[in-house]
Amino acid sequence: MIKDWQIKLIFIVGVLSVLIVFLFDFRGILALVGFIVSFALILGGNKLLNYETTENWLKFQMTDILRQIIGGVFILFGGVIFVRLVLSLAIAVIISKIS
């Protein structure tokens, strides 16, 4: 489960990273698309993971478990895309401008 402050932190870091890439490199569109896709996957996975039902909590349902697994996988893929396409690109741009 992702908390609200974590989602806000991902959003702020993502926006700052995209701005850095837009200002100093030609791959700004790639960073923007990667941020949008990763943030959508993270939000969608969070919705699936935190989906509340009116069912009895003792009742075992395979669909609930599958929904939580799929939500976790979406969050994992979104996080990997965010780190690989957005954050690492911004760090590489900063390092290339410093040297």
Phi, psi (deg, nearest 5) at residue 84: -75, -45
89 in Cβ contact with 45 (< 8 Å): no
> Among the residues of 1-99, which ranges form H helices?
4-24, 28-49, 62-81, 88-98
**Residue 2: pLDDT band by 50, 70, 90 thresholds?**
confident
pLDDT digits (tens, 9 = 90+) for 5-50: 999 999 999 999 999 999 998 999 999 999 999 999 999 999 988 8
Q: How far is CA 15 from the centre of its chain?
A: 12
